[in-house]
Chains A and B, each alone.
Chain A
Protein backbone atom coordinates (compact mmCIF):
# COMPACT_ATOMS: atom_id res chain seq x y z
CA UNK A 1 0.00 0.00 0.00
CA UNK A 2 1.42 3.31 -0.92
CA UNK A 3 1.39 6.05 1.64
CA UNK A 4 -0.05 8.75 -0.56
CA UNK A 5 -3.13 6.64 -1.07
CA UNK A 6 -3.65 5.97 2.63
CA UNK A 7 -3.01 9.50 3.86
CA UNK A 8 -5.00 12.55 2.96
CA UNK A 9 -2.46 15.29 3.80
CA UNK A 10 -5.06 18.02 4.10
CA UNK A 11 -7.12 15.99 6.51
CA UNK A 12 -4.02 15.09 8.50
CA UNK A 13 -3.08 18.75 8.85
CA UNK A 14 -6.55 19.65 10.09
CA UNK A 15 -6.58 16.71 12.49
CA UNK A 16 -3.33 17.66 14.10
CA UNK A 17 -4.15 21.29 14.61
CA UNK A 18 -7.70 20.64 15.80
CA UNK A 19 -8.73 19.97 19.36
CA UNK A 20 -9.17 16.27 20.12
CA UNK A 21 -10.34 13.85 22.75
CA UNK A 22 -7.18 11.79 23.00
CA UNK A 23 -3.60 12.59 23.73
CA UNK A 24 -1.25 10.56 21.58
CA UNK A 25 2.27 9.81 22.68
CA UNK A 26 4.19 7.59 20.29
CA UNK A 27 1.84 4.65 19.81
CA UNK A 28 -0.22 5.05 22.95
CA UNK A 29 -3.35 7.09 22.94
CA UNK A 30 -4.98 8.28 26.14
CA UNK A 31 -8.62 9.02 25.78
CA UNK A 32 -9.51 11.92 28.05
CA UNK A 33 -12.30 10.74 30.34
CA UNK A 34 -15.67 12.28 29.65
CA UNK A 35 -14.45 13.93 26.48
CA UNK A 36 -16.63 14.28 23.46
CA UNK A 37 -16.36 16.81 20.72
CA UNK A 38 -18.86 18.05 18.21
CA UNK A 39 -17.64 19.91 15.16
CA UNK A 40 -17.75 22.66 14.21
CA UNK A 41 -19.47 24.18 17.26
CA UNK A 42 -19.52 22.71 20.71
CA UNK A 43 -20.66 24.14 24.00
CA UNK A 44 -20.08 21.43 26.56
CA UNK A 45 -17.68 21.68 29.44
CA UNK A 46 -16.18 18.29 28.69
CA UNK A 47 -12.37 18.48 28.98
CA UNK A 48 -10.49 18.05 25.72
CA UNK A 49 -6.87 17.82 24.65
CA UNK A 50 -6.50 21.59 24.68
CA UNK A 51 -7.92 21.76 28.20
CA UNK A 52 -5.24 19.33 29.32
CA UNK A 53 -2.59 21.40 27.59
CA UNK A 54 -3.98 24.58 29.17
CA UNK A 55 -3.42 22.95 32.54
CA UNK A 56 0.06 21.78 31.52
CA UNK A 57 0.96 25.29 30.35
CA UNK A 58 -0.38 26.88 33.54
CA UNK A 59 1.45 24.34 35.69
CA UNK A 60 4.71 24.97 33.86
CA UNK A 61 4.29 28.75 34.15
CA UNK A 62 3.57 28.43 37.85
CA UNK A 63 6.54 26.12 38.42
CA UNK A 64 8.85 28.43 36.49
CA UNK A 65 7.88 31.60 38.31
CA UNK A 66 7.45 29.92 41.69
CA UNK A 67 10.91 28.26 41.64
CA UNK A 68 12.44 31.53 40.54
CA UNK A 69 10.56 33.44 43.26
CA UNK A 70 11.73 30.98 45.93
CA UNK A 71 15.29 31.26 44.73
CA UNK A 72 15.04 35.06 44.62
CA UNK A 73 13.58 35.20 48.12
CA UNK A 74 16.66 33.33 49.35
CA UNK A 75 19.04 35.74 47.64
CA UNK A 76 20.59 38.33 49.92
CA UNK A 77 18.86 41.71 49.80
CA UNK A 78 20.43 44.07 47.32
CA UNK A 79 22.00 41.25 45.32
CA UNK A 80 20.80 40.04 41.93
CA UNK A 81 19.80 36.37 41.64
CA UNK A 82 21.95 34.16 39.46
CA UNK A 83 21.24 31.47 36.88
CA UNK A 84 17.68 30.36 36.25
CA UNK A 85 16.12 32.74 38.76
CA UNK A 86 18.08 35.62 37.26
CA UNK A 87 16.84 34.79 33.77
CA UNK A 88 13.21 34.49 34.91
CA UNK A 89 13.51 37.70 36.89
CA UNK A 90 14.91 39.46 33.85
CA UNK A 91 11.96 38.29 31.73
CA UNK A 92 9.39 39.19 34.40
CA UNK A 93 10.88 42.65 34.85
CA UNK A 94 11.10 43.15 31.11
CA UNK A 95 7.40 42.33 30.70
CA UNK A 96 6.52 44.45 33.73
CA UNK A 97 8.58 47.54 32.94
CA UNK A 98 9.00 47.56 29.18
CA UNK A 99 5.68 46.08 28.14
CA UNK A 100 3.15 46.79 30.90
CA UNK A 101 4.28 49.99 32.59
CA UNK A 102 5.89 51.52 29.49
CA UNK A 103 2.67 51.17 27.45
CA UNK A 104 -0.02 51.59 30.07
CA UNK A 105 1.73 54.60 31.48
CA UNK A 106 0.95 56.07 34.86
CA UNK A 107 -0.65 53.41 37.08
CA UNK A 108 0.60 50.59 34.87
CA UNK A 109 2.06 48.64 37.77
CA UNK A 110 -1.46 47.58 38.83
CA UNK A 111 -1.93 45.75 35.53
CA UNK A 112 1.55 44.20 35.53
CA UNK A 113 0.44 40.87 37.10
CA UNK A 114 -2.18 40.42 34.37
CA UNK A 115 0.25 41.25 31.59
CA UNK A 116 3.02 39.04 33.02
CA UNK A 117 0.61 36.12 33.42
CA UNK A 118 -0.71 36.65 29.90
CA UNK A 119 2.80 36.74 28.47
CA UNK A 120 4.04 33.60 30.18
CA UNK A 121 0.81 31.67 29.74
CA UNK A 122 0.66 32.40 26.02
CA UNK A 123 4.38 31.78 25.57
CA UNK A 124 4.16 28.36 27.19
CA UNK A 125 0.96 27.54 25.30
CA UNK A 126 2.73 28.44 22.04
CA UNK A 127 5.83 26.44 22.87
CA UNK A 128 3.90 23.33 23.92
CA UNK A 129 2.69 22.98 20.34
CA UNK A 130 6.28 22.67 19.13
CA UNK A 131 7.04 19.70 21.38
CA UNK A 132 6.67 16.25 19.85
CA UNK A 133 3.14 15.03 20.55
CA UNK A 134 2.41 18.44 22.02
CA UNK A 135 -0.45 20.69 21.16
CA UNK A 136 -0.90 24.47 21.29
CA UNK A 137 -3.93 25.52 23.28
CA UNK A 138 -3.22 28.98 21.85
CA UNK A 139 -3.87 27.50 18.41
CA UNK A 140 -7.51 27.14 19.40
CA UNK A 141 -9.78 30.04 18.58
CA UNK A 142 -11.87 29.49 21.72
CA UNK A 143 -8.82 29.83 23.96
CA UNK A 144 -7.48 32.97 22.29
CA UNK A 145 -10.99 34.44 22.21
CA UNK A 146 -11.43 33.73 25.92
CA UNK A 147 -8.13 35.48 26.68
CA UNK A 148 -9.04 38.39 24.42
CA UNK A 149 -12.46 38.73 26.10
CA UNK A 150 -10.72 38.79 29.46
CA UNK A 151 -8.46 41.59 28.22
CA UNK A 152 -11.50 43.38 26.78
CA UNK A 153 -13.26 43.23 30.15
CA UNK A 154 -10.15 44.55 31.88
CA UNK A 155 -9.83 47.39 29.37
CA UNK A 156 -13.46 48.45 29.71
CA UNK A 157 -13.94 47.93 33.45
CA UNK A 158 -10.64 49.52 34.41
CA UNK A 159 -11.44 52.34 32.01
CA UNK A 160 -14.87 52.82 33.59
CA UNK A 161 -13.34 52.93 37.07
CA UNK A 162 -10.65 55.36 35.98
CA UNK A 163 -12.78 57.68 33.84
CA UNK A 164 -16.04 57.56 35.80
CA UNK A 165 -19.48 57.11 34.21
CA UNK A 166 -19.32 60.43 32.36
CA UNK A 167 -15.81 59.95 31.08
CA UNK A 168 -16.60 56.39 30.03
CA UNK A 169 -19.69 57.47 28.08
CA UNK A 170 -17.50 59.98 26.28
CA UNK A 171 -15.51 57.04 24.87
CA UNK A 172 -18.69 55.78 23.19
CA UNK A 173 -20.33 59.12 22.36
CA UNK A 174 -17.31 61.17 21.39
CA UNK A 175 -17.22 64.92 21.77
CA UNK A 176 -15.58 66.81 18.96
CA UNK A 177 -13.79 69.98 19.94
CA UNK A 178 -15.41 73.07 18.41
CA UNK A 179 -18.76 71.37 17.86
CA UNK A 180 -21.76 72.58 19.90
CA UNK A 181 -25.52 72.19 20.12
CA UNK A 182 -27.49 69.71 17.99
CA UNK A 183 -24.56 69.17 15.65
CA UNK A 184 -22.45 67.78 18.48
CA UNK A 185 -25.30 65.49 19.62
CA UNK A 186 -25.86 64.23 16.09
CA UNK A 187 -22.16 63.56 15.55
CA UNK A 188 -21.91 61.78 18.89
CA UNK A 189 -24.81 59.51 17.99
CA UNK A 190 -23.59 58.84 14.47
CA UNK A 191 -20.08 58.08 15.67
CA UNK A 192 -21.12 55.83 18.54
CA UNK A 193 -21.44 52.62 16.44
CA UNK A 194 -17.93 53.20 15.11
CA UNK A 195 -16.60 53.76 18.63
CA UNK A 196 -18.28 50.58 19.87
CA UNK A 197 -16.93 48.71 16.88
CA UNK A 198 -13.49 50.10 17.67
CA UNK A 199 -13.74 48.68 21.17
CA UNK A 200 -14.77 45.25 19.87
CA UNK A 201 -12.26 45.08 17.05
CA UNK A 202 -9.30 45.28 19.42
CA UNK A 203 -9.93 42.01 21.29
CA UNK A 204 -11.10 40.39 18.06
CA UNK A 205 -7.77 41.24 16.45
CA UNK A 206 -5.93 39.94 19.52
CA UNK A 207 -7.77 36.61 19.37
CA UNK A 208 -7.50 36.08 15.63
CA UNK A 209 -3.84 37.17 15.45
CA UNK A 210 -2.69 34.68 18.06
CA UNK A 211 -4.88 31.87 16.76
CA UNK A 212 -3.87 32.53 13.17
CA UNK A 213 -0.15 32.67 13.87
CA UNK A 214 -0.13 29.47 15.88
CA UNK A 215 -2.38 27.53 13.53
CA UNK A 216 -0.55 28.76 10.44
CA UNK A 217 2.79 27.70 11.89
CA UNK A 218 1.48 24.22 12.54
CA UNK A 219 -0.06 24.11 9.07
CA UNK A 220 3.29 24.91 7.49
CA UNK A 221 5.14 22.30 9.53
CA UNK A 222 2.53 19.60 8.94
CA UNK A 223 2.25 20.44 5.26
CA UNK A 224 6.01 20.11 4.89
CA UNK A 225 5.74 16.72 6.59
CA UNK A 226 3.11 15.97 3.96
CA UNK A 227 5.92 15.95 1.39
CA UNK A 228 7.02 12.66 2.94
CA UNK A 229 3.60 11.13 2.42
CA UNK A 230 3.30 12.43 -1.09
CA UNK A 231 6.75 11.63 -2.45
CA UNK A 232 8.16 9.06 -0.03
CA UNK A 233 7.33 6.24 -2.46
CA UNK A 234 9.81 7.45 -5.07
CA UNK A 235 12.35 4.79 -4.13
CA UNK A 236 15.44 6.41 -5.57
CA UNK A 237 14.68 9.81 -4.12
CA UNK A 238 13.23 8.74 -0.77
CA UNK A 239 16.36 9.51 1.25
CA UNK A 240 16.78 12.89 -0.37
CA UNK A 241 13.15 13.71 0.19
CA UNK A 242 13.35 12.67 3.83
CA UNK A 243 16.49 14.74 4.50
CA UNK A 244 15.19 17.74 2.55
CA UNK A 245 11.89 17.68 4.40
CA UNK A 246 13.65 17.36 7.74
CA UNK A 247 15.88 20.35 6.96
CA UNK A 248 12.89 22.44 5.87
CA UNK A 249 10.94 21.52 8.98
CA UNK A 250 13.90 22.28 11.26
CA UNK A 251 14.14 25.70 9.66
CA UNK A 252 10.44 26.37 10.13
CA UNK A 253 10.65 25.05 13.70
CA UNK A 254 13.34 27.66 14.41
CA UNK A 255 11.06 30.28 12.92
CA UNK A 256 8.17 28.98 15.02
CA UNK A 257 10.27 29.38 18.17
CA UNK A 258 10.66 33.04 17.30
CA UNK A 259 6.97 33.34 16.43
CA UNK A 260 5.98 31.71 19.73
CA UNK A 261 7.94 34.34 21.66
CA UNK A 262 6.91 37.14 19.33
CA UNK A 263 3.18 36.39 19.53
CA UNK A 264 3.28 36.19 23.32
CA UNK A 265 5.07 39.54 23.27
CA UNK A 266 2.61 41.05 20.79
CA UNK A 267 -0.43 39.89 22.77
CA UNK A 268 0.99 41.30 26.01
CA UNK A 269 2.13 44.49 24.29
CA UNK A 270 -1.17 45.20 22.53
CA UNK A 271 -3.15 44.39 25.67
CA UNK A 272 -1.00 46.96 27.50
CA UNK A 273 -1.42 49.51 24.73
CA UNK A 274 -5.21 49.07 24.71
CA UNK A 275 -5.46 49.32 28.49
CA UNK A 276 -3.22 52.40 28.37
CA UNK A 277 -5.32 54.01 25.62
CA UNK A 278 -8.42 53.63 27.74
CA UNK A 279 -6.74 54.76 30.96
CA UNK A 280 -5.55 58.00 29.42
CA UNK A 281 -8.63 58.76 27.30
CA UNK A 282 -9.63 62.37 27.72
Chain B
Protein backbone atom coordinates (compact mmCIF):
# COMPACT_ATOMS: atom_id res chain seq x y z
CA UNK B 1 0.00 0.00 0.00
CA UNK B 2 2.65 2.40 1.05
CA UNK B 3 4.81 1.64 -1.93
CA UNK B 4 1.89 2.11 -4.26
CA UNK B 5 1.08 5.50 -2.83
CA UNK B 6 4.70 6.47 -3.03
CA UNK B 7 4.81 5.37 -6.61
CA UNK B 8 1.69 7.33 -7.46
CA UNK B 9 3.19 10.36 -5.84
CA UNK B 10 6.48 9.98 -7.59
CA UNK B 11 5.24 9.19 -11.09
CA UNK B 12 5.65 11.70 -13.88
CA UNK B 13 8.73 13.34 -15.17
CA UNK B 14 9.69 14.85 -11.91
CA UNK B 15 10.97 18.32 -11.48
CA UNK B 16 8.62 21.10 -12.29
CA UNK B 17 5.61 19.19 -13.57
CA UNK B 18 2.65 21.50 -13.38
CA UNK B 19 -0.86 21.65 -14.76
CA UNK B 20 -0.18 25.28 -15.63
CA UNK B 21 2.48 24.36 -18.17
CA UNK B 22 1.51 24.99 -21.76
CA UNK B 23 2.50 22.53 -24.44
CA UNK B 24 1.90 24.08 -27.82
CA UNK B 25 2.21 20.68 -29.44
CA UNK B 26 -1.11 19.85 -27.79
CA UNK B 27 -2.83 22.56 -29.86
CA UNK B 28 -2.05 20.60 -32.96
CA UNK B 29 -3.14 17.30 -31.41
CA UNK B 30 -6.38 18.79 -30.13
CA UNK B 31 -7.25 20.25 -33.50
CA UNK B 32 -6.36 17.02 -35.28
CA UNK B 33 -8.35 14.81 -32.93
CA UNK B 34 -11.31 17.16 -32.71
CA UNK B 35 -11.62 17.83 -36.43
CA UNK B 36 -11.14 14.14 -37.26
CA UNK B 37 -13.83 13.27 -34.74
CA UNK B 38 -16.20 15.87 -36.18
CA UNK B 39 -15.52 14.64 -39.70
CA UNK B 40 -16.14 11.01 -38.75
CA UNK B 41 -19.30 11.88 -36.84
CA UNK B 42 -20.54 13.95 -39.77
CA UNK B 43 -19.96 10.98 -42.02
CA UNK B 44 -21.12 8.07 -39.88
CA UNK B 45 -23.29 9.28 -37.00
CA UNK B 46 -25.11 12.57 -37.47
CA UNK B 47 -26.88 11.87 -40.77
CA UNK B 48 -28.54 8.72 -39.43
CA UNK B 49 -29.57 10.32 -36.15
CA UNK B 50 -30.84 13.55 -37.68
CA UNK B 51 -32.53 11.86 -40.63
CA UNK B 52 -34.36 9.48 -38.31
CA UNK B 53 -35.55 12.31 -36.09
CA UNK B 54 -36.54 14.46 -39.05
CA UNK B 55 -38.44 11.54 -40.54
CA UNK B 56 -40.12 10.97 -37.21
CA UNK B 57 -40.93 14.65 -36.86
CA UNK B 58 -42.45 14.65 -40.31
CA UNK B 59 -44.40 11.48 -39.61
CA UNK B 60 -45.74 12.91 -36.37
CA UNK B 61 -46.54 16.23 -38.00
CA UNK B 62 -48.31 14.44 -40.83
CA UNK B 63 -50.24 12.28 -38.39
CA UNK B 64 -51.23 15.34 -36.41
CA UNK B 65 -52.34 17.03 -39.61
CA UNK B 66 -54.33 14.00 -40.62
CA UNK B 67 -55.92 13.78 -37.21
CA UNK B 68 -56.84 17.46 -37.35
CA UNK B 69 -58.26 17.01 -40.82
CA UNK B 70 -60.24 13.93 -39.80
CA UNK B 71 -61.50 15.80 -36.78
CA UNK B 72 -62.59 18.75 -38.89
CA UNK B 73 -64.25 16.39 -41.34
CA UNK B 74 -66.08 14.59 -38.57
CA UNK B 75 -67.20 17.91 -37.16
CA UNK B 76 -68.43 19.06 -40.56
CA UNK B 77 -70.26 15.78 -41.05
CA UNK B 78 -71.84 16.05 -37.65
CA UNK B 79 -72.90 19.61 -38.38
CA UNK B 80 -74.33 18.54 -41.72
CA UNK B 81 -76.16 15.65 -40.11
CA UNK B 82 -77.59 17.94 -37.50
CA UNK B 83 -78.69 20.36 -40.20
CA UNK B 84 -80.22 17.57 -42.26
CA UNK B 85 -82.00 16.23 -39.22
CA UNK B 86 -83.35 19.65 -38.35
CA UNK B 87 -84.46 20.17 -41.96
CA UNK B 88 -86.13 16.74 -42.03
CA UNK B 89 -87.87 17.47 -38.77
CA UNK B 90 -89.07 20.82 -40.08
CA UNK B 91 -90.29 19.23 -43.25
CA UNK B 92 -92.13 16.52 -41.37
CA UNK B 93 -93.76 19.07 -39.15
CA UNK B 94 -94.78 21.15 -42.16
CA UNK B 95 -96.20 18.05 -43.82
CA UNK B 96 -98.18 17.12 -40.73
CA UNK B 97 -99.48 20.65 -40.37
CA UNK B 98 -100.41 20.76 -44.02
CA UNK B 99 -102.20 17.43 -43.78
CA UNK B 100 -103.99 18.63 -40.68
CA UNK B 101 -105.22 21.82 -42.34
CA UNK B 102 -106.18 19.88 -45.46
CA UNK B 103 -108.21 17.44 -43.39
CA UNK B 104 -109.72 20.28 -41.44
CA UNK B 105 -110.70 22.04 -44.62
CA UNK B 106 -112.02 18.86 -46.14
CA UNK B 107 -114.10 18.17 -43.08
CA UNK B 108 -115.51 21.63 -42.84
CA UNK B 109 -116.42 21.68 -46.52
CA UNK B 110 -117.99 18.23 -46.14
CA UNK B 111 -120.00 19.43 -43.16
CA UNK B 112 -121.03 22.56 -44.99
CA UNK B 113 -122.07 20.57 -48.00
CA UNK B 114 -124.05 18.11 -45.90
CA UNK B 115 -125.76 20.89 -44.04
CA UNK B 116 -126.56 22.61 -47.26
CA UNK B 117 -127.99 19.45 -48.78
CA UNK B 118 -129.93 18.78 -45.68
CA UNK B 119 -131.40 22.23 -45.77
CA UNK B 120 -132.19 21.88 -49.40
CA UNK B 121 -133.95 18.58 -48.77
CA UNK B 122 -135.84 20.06 -45.88
CA UNK B 123 -136.78 23.05 -47.95
CA UNK B 124 -138.01 20.89 -50.79
CA UNK B 125 -139.96 18.73 -48.42
CA UNK B 126 -141.49 21.78 -46.91
CA UNK B 127 -142.35 23.16 -50.29
CA UNK B 128 -143.86 19.88 -51.39
CA UNK B 129 -145.86 19.61 -48.20
CA UNK B 130 -147.11 23.13 -48.68
CA UNK B 131 -148.01 22.43 -52.31
CA UNK B 132 -149.83 19.21 -51.34
CA UNK B 133 -151.67 21.03 -48.64
CA UNK B 134 -152.63 23.77 -51.02
CA UNK B 135 -153.82 21.20 -53.53
CA UNK B 136 -155.73 19.26 -50.90
CA UNK B 137 -157.37 22.48 -49.71
CA UNK B 138 -158.36 23.42 -53.24
CA UNK B 139 -159.78 19.94 -53.80
CA UNK B 140 -161.58 20.07 -50.52
CA UNK B 141 -162.97 23.44 -51.31
CA UNK B 142 -164.27 22.31 -54.71
CA UNK B 143 -165.72 19.24 -53.16
CA UNK B 144 -167.36 21.36 -50.50
CA UNK B 145 -168.81 23.68 -53.14
CA UNK B 146 -170.12 20.74 -55.15
CA UNK B 147 -171.58 19.13 -52.07
CA UNK B 148 -173.22 22.29 -50.83
CA UNK B 149 -174.63 23.01 -54.26
CA UNK B 150 -176.00 19.53 -54.50
CA UNK B 151 -177.52 19.81 -51.03
CA UNK B 152 -178.93 23.21 -51.75
CA UNK B 153 -180.25 21.97 -55.17
CA UNK B 154 -182.03 19.13 -53.45
CA UNK B 155 -183.50 21.50 -50.98
CA UNK B 156 -184.89 23.95 -53.55
CA UNK B 157 -185.59 21.33 -56.10
CA UNK B 158 -183.71 22.65 -58.89
CA UNK B 159 -180.42 22.12 -60.28
CA UNK B 160 -177.81 24.59 -59.20
CA UNK B 161 -174.76 24.45 -61.34
CA UNK B 162 -174.49 27.81 -62.88
CA UNK B 163 -171.45 29.89 -62.43
CA UNK B 164 -173.33 32.39 -60.35
CA UNK B 165 -174.40 29.75 -57.90
CA UNK B 166 -170.98 28.55 -57.64
CA UNK B 167 -169.48 31.94 -56.91
CA UNK B 168 -172.16 32.45 -54.29
CA UNK B 169 -171.08 29.34 -52.41
CA UNK B 170 -167.53 30.17 -52.87
CA UNK B 171 -168.07 33.60 -51.49
CA UNK B 172 -169.80 32.13 -48.51
CA UNK B 173 -167.02 29.70 -47.89
CA UNK B 174 -164.56 32.46 -48.14
CA UNK B 175 -166.43 34.38 -45.51
CA UNK B 176 -166.38 31.29 -43.34
CA UNK B 177 -162.69 30.98 -43.79
CA UNK B 178 -162.35 34.60 -42.87
CA UNK B 179 -164.33 34.04 -39.72
CA UNK B 180 -162.22 31.10 -38.87
A-B pair number, CB within 8 angstroms: 198
| C-alpha gap A149/B15 in the complex (Å) | 30
For chain B, give the interface size range.
Answer: 35 or more
* Contact present for A15 and B11 (CB under 8 Å): yes
- B37 adjacent to A58 (CB under 8 Å): yes
Chain B residues with CB under 8 A of A68: 45, 49
Establish whether residues B6 and A24, one from each chain, have CB atoms under 8 Å apart when the complex forms: no
Given A40-B21, A69-B46, A79-B56: A145 and B27 interface contact (C-beta under 8 Å): yes
Query: Could you tell me if B20 and A24 are in contact, using CB atoms closer than 8 angstroms?
Result: no
List which B11-66 residues lie within 8 A (CB) of chain A. Answer: 11-13, 15-31, 33-38, 40-42, 44-50, 52-53, 55-56, 59-60
User: What are the interface flags for A224-241 relative to B under an 8 Å C-beta threshold, 1 for contact and 0 otherwise?
Assistant: 000011000000000000
Dominant secondary structure of chain A at its interface with chain B: helix
Number of interface residues of A (CB under 8 A): 77
> Nearest-CB distance from B64 to chain A (Å)?
12
A54 B12 Cβ-Cβ under 8 A: no
Contacts of A121 in B (CB 8 A): 34, 37
Which of A3, A113, A149 is within 8 Å of B42, CB to CB? A113
- A residues touching B (Cβ–Cβ < 8 Å)? 3, 6-8, 11-12, 14-22, 24, 26-27, 29, 37, 39-48, 50-51, 54-55, 57-58, 61-62, 65-66, 68-70, 72-73, 75, 77-81, 88-89, 92-93, 96, 113-114, 116-118, 121, 137, 139-143, 145-147, 149-150, 215, 218, 228-229
